[in-house]
Structure 1
Amino acid sequence: MKNKFLKSTVILNLTLILKISCVPISDYKEVIEYLQNFDYLTQDDRTSLNYKIDNKEDVKNDKRLKRALENLQINGNIPITGKYDKSTAMLIDTPRCGVSDKNIIGKRHKRYTLMSSKWPSTTITYRFDHKNKAPFVDEQVNIRRRLREAFNVWEKDTIMKFIEIEEGTADIMISFEHPKHTQIDPYVFGTQTLGHAFQPGKNIGGDAHFNERIKWDFNVQYASKPEDGKISFFAVALHELGHSLGLGHTRDTEAVMYEFYSRSTSTLAEDDIRGMQHIYGVPPNRKYTPDQKVKDEEEMPVWRKDPILPDKCNTSYDAISLIDGEIIGFRRKYMFSSTKNATEIRTRWQGLPLNLKSVDAVFQTSDRRVLFFIGQDLYVMNGNKQQKSYKLKDIGMDDSIKKIDAIFRNSLNKQVYIFFDNSYYKFDEHKMMVTGTKSRITKAFRDVFDIDTGFTSKDGKTYFIKNEYSYEFDNENWYLRRMKPELTANLFMDCNLPTENIIDRFSVNDDYIDDENEFIPEAPNCQDNPEIPCNDPGSGSVKRSYTVTLFIIVGSSFFV
């Protein structure tokens, strides 16, 4: 088989969700996990809600949870209550595809959705590779029949042609796999996972894997009911092959690509057909075009987007900066500090764009202007008003740079640095221009890479932030104190989150903190570090003196 490990490929898990019946508050984490897995909640929402649960706080009436449940109920076509009621429990218990619902949340109409790739040809080969796996060796004839029937359904109303081959590598390779089949792809089947498929593409693209631990019914044909306690292989294959051909999910409950697996069908719905024809074209015998509007298409409720403010003690950071002596954190379009909870950034800086969604980096200059870096734009704020705006290329940066990660001042050499990707520029805050050429970050800033943001605090210490942790940078010895991370919320936001023996987020997982025996690297020199002037040995380097004792041994005597 082909090499199956492609991180960029979209994977679609067809999953039977674990049963959740009556849920006491202590078990709400299961519901929250479900909602986050399918993008009804963000990771920040999940972290914050779980924190409330751990502290015995009520989450049932939390706005984030209520909104997420409402959107799930909208997609599931059940009464919209915003509560975890009996209907919602049954919906969550319904077998379904494991891919995120993000692409259909908030859609106003029932309509197919497309994935990000298609096959370059309308003639596709497929192959079932049984791999001599029991108990399916004896079932391979029935398996191949069900696959042929599923492909026939997709072929009937489209211009696609599917050809089975018995040897070699096909466009769509189909197999049964052990739950931990990581030698083929990086995704592990859960105990209730039926299978997954990949969107069209090279290597693993288009392939479909089915869980060998499931009790399959290989005899059931088309829309027939499977044997009690078994799953219709035909029905699952029909849905999965839709993903292999480039279709996403739909909110049309009659469509094969409907997200909740609740019935079997032997025909494509109008929605499925229109989606396929949108991708690959219309057969000559069809009288409508892919863009024709379905007359009875009903209006669907819109995904509500009530503003949910980030919790300063349970969030990651887009940027953090020292402004007028106060450390301010930025997340999405909000800001917060140790003394203030989240408010919109534009309540203080009204001159920023009206459609502001987030910032990449923020910096206050020595003359108290505040610089906001947003994508390829730089906004210079004087007070709450916009003084001037630039493009990154206007300040001397390469056209190819889409955004920056951090801007900060080294308190010892007073130089301002701009970080982006794996490189940095020096920045003249008075001329609003970068100086010199870009350099590799790790050449000067040892052990610093893959950061979210960074800044210099009021005590002159520089910190780099990754996820929820802050790492101090030794400005004198030019290295990251990566073995001593601290929770950013505790360090700067006056929070009191529990700490643990934190592993090194910038290195391998077996690299633990050792508070008493921290490794301090040899001080850099000007030949190794471009930020240390060779004509000034005291700038950025530490002078070390050594005493060398020479022992001379002559016969049985020695001299010092």
Structure 2
Amino acid sequence: MRLQALDLWLLVLLLVLLLQPVHGTPRAQDVSLGVDWLTRYGYLPPADPSQAQLQSLEKLQDAIKVMQRFAGLPETGQMDTETIAAMHKPRCSLPDILGAAGLVRRRRRYALSGSVWKKRTLTWSYPFDGPGGTLAHAFFPGEHPISGDTHFDDEETWTFGSQDGEGTDLFAVAVHEFGHALGLGHSSAPDSIMRPFYQGPVGDPGKYRLSRDDRDGLQQLYGKVSHTPYDKPTRKPLAPPPQPPALPPDSPSTPVPDRCEGNFDAIANIRGETFFFKGPWFWRLQPSGQLVSPRPARLHRFWEGLPTHVRVIQAAYARPLDGRIILFSGPHFWVFQDRQLEGAARPLVEFGLPPGEEVDAVFSWPLNGKTYLIRGQQYWRYDEEAARLDPGYPRVLSRWEGAPPAPDDVTVSNTGDTYFFKGTLFWRFAKGSVKSESDSPQPMGPKWLDCPAPSYDPQVPNRPKMTPRTGTCDCQCELNQATGPLSVTLLLPLLPFLTGVAFSC
């Protein structure tokens, strides 16, 4: 007589239990529950109805031990009363072991589903077995219409922020299921939110932080955030000023400019946010790409201490050495710590510029840590550490191939790309490059300011005319040291990888 594999497992497991002390021996129905439970949640492979395969005693004990490890129980390998009680606890419906009964010893406790999302905007929503049992389930990332869906049992008594322990904490269950929706499997780490059994409330949701095991799993799937000087501000973001009292209805006010018209006076990346200055107003673009508000803020209400006669900011940047924020207007500049002015107006001659000179744009380039000051069709390079201009400047702006003359401003994004702005257009220079991308210029409104795209092609009729380069050299950077007849044009792409050859712009 051929026996089904599941029946043989039950017989073997019963035999194991009979060899144990009589005290605490579970009932046959509990043993049946146990084998079914171990199979359902991935600890044992599903039975093959076409063959009667006898599983070894060691494999069965291993399955129970792995389950006990996930449950935080002593790894006895026996179906004792604590193990059976754990099997009756409410839990997630997804298997704990992914793959073919993966009883594999892993160095990492966290498990990965093997799939990740290619998009960054995810949504979640809701059928089940009534109160207790399965609380919720989620589907791993993928291309199927249900991939990433998260469902909660509506018949559970859900609570949020409850301190009495009654009901089921929605926040704890949601974080667990969202972990699955992002691609995490179950974990055996004691403090992981991805343990398969419901662990109770996790405290104040506003103060909750994922465990190291959970963070490691997500970073394995999606990578870590890079930490360049512009990727993540090292200082706290600038806090908004207190709201002023409302003006009377009949009070005169300065007309509010339209951000979609472009032609900004200054644009700067300050602690991860992009500031757009126009007259006595400015807009703030968060690192997420969202405007803080579609309406601009008043210049003097934010930058406390800025003289009232200063109505236009021509350039701005955050000084890399100490994080001070520098605002330029006319032949002067002002230094701010956060939003507070430090001292009085200072002349641009402190940067080494000629007396009475003004600037169109200022930015700090992370590739070399130098600060660039642009006026018209020329620029200077300033050494912050030495507090002086580098020798050999000014130079022609056309060394930045494709850049518009007299730009409204230049800034470096959080990813390290350099952007020149003029009018309603922008030119992008990839990280470390001094040549604009082939699709430049582009309209700045849709990308930066939540404005509709223009009806014209910015690259054809409205592209500004560039000043021809001077001299006979066709290079955009100059070689300070070079030997042999090797072509400069061929050598340029290799410069970042060479040693003993320096280049500068």
Q: TM-score, normalised by structure 2?
A: 0.40
Q: Which of the pair has more CA radius of gyration?
A: 2
